[in-house]
Amino acid sequence: MTAAIPTIALVGNPNAGKSSLFNALTGARQKIANYPGVTVERKAGHASFADGRPMSLVDLPGSYSLTPASPDEAVTRDVLLGRQAGERQPDALVVVVDAANLDNHLCFALELIALGRPTVVALNMLDLATRDGLTLDPAILSRELGVPVVPTVAVRKRGLADLLAAVDGAILSHQTQASAPSAPPPSDAALHQRARAIARAATVSETPVRRWTGRVDAIVLHPVAGFLILLALMFVMFQGVYAWSEAPIGWIEGGIAALQGAVDAALPDGFLRGLIIEGILGGVGSVIVFLPQILILFLFILLLEATGYMTRAAFLMDGIMAKVGLSGRGFIPLLSSFACAVPGIMATRAIPDAKDRLTTILIAPLMTCSARLPVYTLIIGAFIPNSNVGGSPVGLQGLVLFGLYLSGIVGALVVALVLRRTVAKGTAAGFMMEMPRYQWPRLRDVAIALWQRAWIFLRRAGTIIFVTTIALWLLLSYPTVPTDSSESQVDYSVAGRIASGLEVVVAPIGFNHDIALALIPAMAAREVAVSALATANAIEAGDDEEAMAQSLSERLQGRWSIATALAFLAWFVFAPQCISTIAITKRETNGWKWPLFMVGYLFALAYAAAGITYWTAVAFGLG
């Protein structure tokens, strides 16, 4: 008997409702980290037995068997066998099975029970099984499996107390009797046969299934109509990201301006005031304003996933993605990358084929992430006339934005095609996926996931972006330009001199000193380009009242040609300017080779795209 807090592992097939059960048991008391050395998420949390004794819970990645097919599944096996570094072998297992899918889920359950650890089966989503016309007898199931079976409906928190009591009992009785030596593992076919036999025995009555799901799928998966529905959903999603975020963005901007005003009034003019107002509040504030857009986009993605639609979207997109050597599985990571490539690249873990996954990681940064929006918005607002195209209701500014999104997507498809024929050559990617039933999304699960995404973003804004903005502000402010010099403060500063060096390289593609200056700190994150332009602008304007009164876009109009502005936009379609993306790519590919390759090819594309745009524009007289 150990005095340590017992560790209980939740384990089961994908789509068994494991995460909901984990959320129901632990509430918000969760910690997400990574297993050391691998890039698989470790979800852990705490709960307590009825008498108050604590336990720790681990939510293991969903698997089909103990023979792993992906890095996720390998972790599940290693933890269960006590082979995972830094992780204790669990004291008890809660095997989560979908009540409506026993034939299949019992296979893995039988494998797990054969491990001989204290085990309880959670017969989950019993309500959905009942809705599907299935009546089960948990007592028969328990007798056949030889372990306790507890019916649960995780999303309604039903059966949780019984489940924990059963776990407690299983641990206790396990200590009093030696576990039976496990028999040699049966073959797949034998396992399936036994699973089906047990499922049949436990089934009291059954009516034909999925009438409702089938009727919805007939429309949603229709070769033409389904595709149009998917396009419409995407359209609504992106429309929502812009339209619904306007008000909250206004509040955040107002809040930051109010803070700046308060600091301005409270502190005397000097180093500290400048640092706080221009450096910290201005710089970090210009990034936090994207929080509403990111949250809206993630809300859509989480809802589509929770309802089961995302797999349908993957089905519809698989044909197209197969043509460039990818699979429908890649659609979900790529869609997430429109919010941010970091969670997108993390989501590629679900892709079993290594080459397919690598290609998806390498093209994920080409999806127009929300960090590009501030850059696009600023430049489009300043240089593209706010008029309609030839009397139609289509706005020119919107059209340019759409074109930038489209360039990213087309670029990604072409790059994928090339990569799959060169560095990521392999057999045609497979696409095998279980299609979950439709479900009502659970507010609570969506809220927890959304909060986790928001927190990751805010932490990023609070660290990387915070530090780079302050560093840039210091480099721009020092050394102070002598009063008798004709040079501007920005040109005279350390940052200005570095930019002059870089300008030599980027001058051929139409980039001026302003841009060279903004590109360096924007390596940390693309959106910093905007705050860098703003900071440099504020410092340069100094006490000049007239210059201060001009907005950033007005000042840019006076200093950049349209050709330069267009080249700048083209640059940002491709440029890999995001430390977080590079870092996550290193982590996910276990080394520097692929992140360096990614940075190299994207910069080359960015340079070429900006150059071609600039030279073409100049040829048309826009220089």
Partner 1 sequence: MNPRLDSAPLGVAVRISRIDWDAMSQDEGRRLREFGLMEGIEVTPLHRGSLFSRDPLALSVGRMQVIIRARQAAMIEVAPTAP
Q: Residues in the site for partner 1, rule: CB under 8 A?
A: 64-65, 67, 69, 100-101, 103-104, 107, 132, 134, 188-189, 192, 196, 209-210, 214, 217, 221, 223-224, 226-227, 311, 314-320, 322-323, 328, 352, 427-428, 430-435
Separation between Cα atoms, residue 60 and residue 74, nearest integer Å: 10
| Contact by Cβ (8 Å): 130, 84 | no
| Contact by Cβ (8 Å): 394, 403 | no
> In this complex, which beta carbon is closest to partner 1, that of residue 192 or of residue 587?
192
> In this complex, which beta carbon is closest to partner 1, that of residue 230 or of residue 302?
230
> In this complex, which beta carbon is closest to partner 1, that of residue 105 or of residue 526?
105
Separation between Cα atoms, residue 91 and residue 110, nearest integer Å: 18
Separation between Cα atoms, residue 100 and residue 97, nearest integer Å: 9
> In this complex, which beta carbon is closest to partner 1, that of residue 107 or of residue 519?
107
> In this complex, which beta carbon is closest to partner 1, that of residue 59 or of residue 111?
111
Minimum Å gap between C-beta 213 and partner 1 is 8
> In this complex, which beta carbon is closest to partner 1, that of residue 214 or of residue 542?
214
**Chain centroid to CA 420:** 24
Cα separations (Å) of 443 from 126, 298, 342, 408, 495?
A: 19, 14, 24, 33, 48
Minimum Å gap between C-beta 38 and partner 1 is 19
> In this complex, which beta carbon is closest to partner 1, that of residue 169 or of residue 186?
186
Among residues 296, 59, 95, the alpha carbon closest in space to that of 195 is found at 95
> In this complex, which beta carbon is closest to partner 1, that of residue 199 or of residue 401?
199
Minimum Å gap between C-beta 26 and partner 1 is 28
Minimum Å gap between C-beta 212 and partner 1 is 13
Minimum Å gap between C-beta 350 and partner 1 is 13
Helix (H) or strand (E) holding 98: strand 92-98
Among residues 304, 278, 236, the alpha carbon closest in space to that of 476 is found at 278
15-54 CB burial, b ≥16 within 10 A, e <16 = bbbbbbbbbbbbeeebeeeebeebbbebbbbebeeeeeee
Q: What is the dihedral of CA 480, 498, 531, 380, to 10 degrees?
A: 130
Minimum Å gap between C-beta 41 and partner 1 is 22
**DSSP string over 321-366:** HHHTT--GGGHHHHHHTTT-HHHHHHHGGG--SHHHHHHHHHHGGG
> In this complex, which beta carbon is closest to partner 1, that of residue 160 or of residue 326?
326
Cα separations (Å) of 186 from 93, 111, 190, 202, 382?
A: 21, 9, 6, 22, 69
Minimum Å gap between C-beta 294 and partner 1 is 29
**DSSP string over 42-71:** EEEEEEE-TTS-EEEEEEPPP-SSSS-SSH
Separation between Cα atoms, residue 233 and residue 317, nearest integer Å: 14
Minimum Å gap between C-beta 318 and partner 1 is 5
| Contact by Cβ (8 Å): 475, 278 | no
Minimum Å gap between C-beta 428 and partner 1 is 7
> In this complex, which beta carbon is closest to partner 1, that of residue 187 or of residue 392?
187
Residues in contact with 201: Cβ distance below 8 Å, sequence separation at least 6, in sequence order? 140, 141, 144
Minimum Å gap between C-beta 321 and partner 1 is 9
- Give me the amino acid identity at 187: S
Cα distance between the two ends of the chain: 79
Separation between Cα atoms, residue 380 and residue 287, nearest integer Å: 18
> In this complex, which beta carbon is closest to partner 1, that of residue 142 or of residue 311?
311
> In this complex, which beta carbon is closest to partner 1, that of residue 311 or of residue 589?
311
Minimum Å gap between C-beta 413 and partner 1 is 14
Torsion sign over Cα 447, 452, 456, 458: positive
| Contact by Cβ (8 Å): 359, 416 | yes
Minimum Å gap between C-beta 433 and partner 1 is 5
> In this complex, which beta carbon is closest to partner 1, that of residue 206 or of residue 487?
206
> What Rg do the C-alpha atoms of the chain give, in angstroms?
28
Minimum Å gap between C-beta 122 and partner 1 is 18
Among residues 12, 6, 26, the alpha carbon closest in space to that of 157 is found at 26
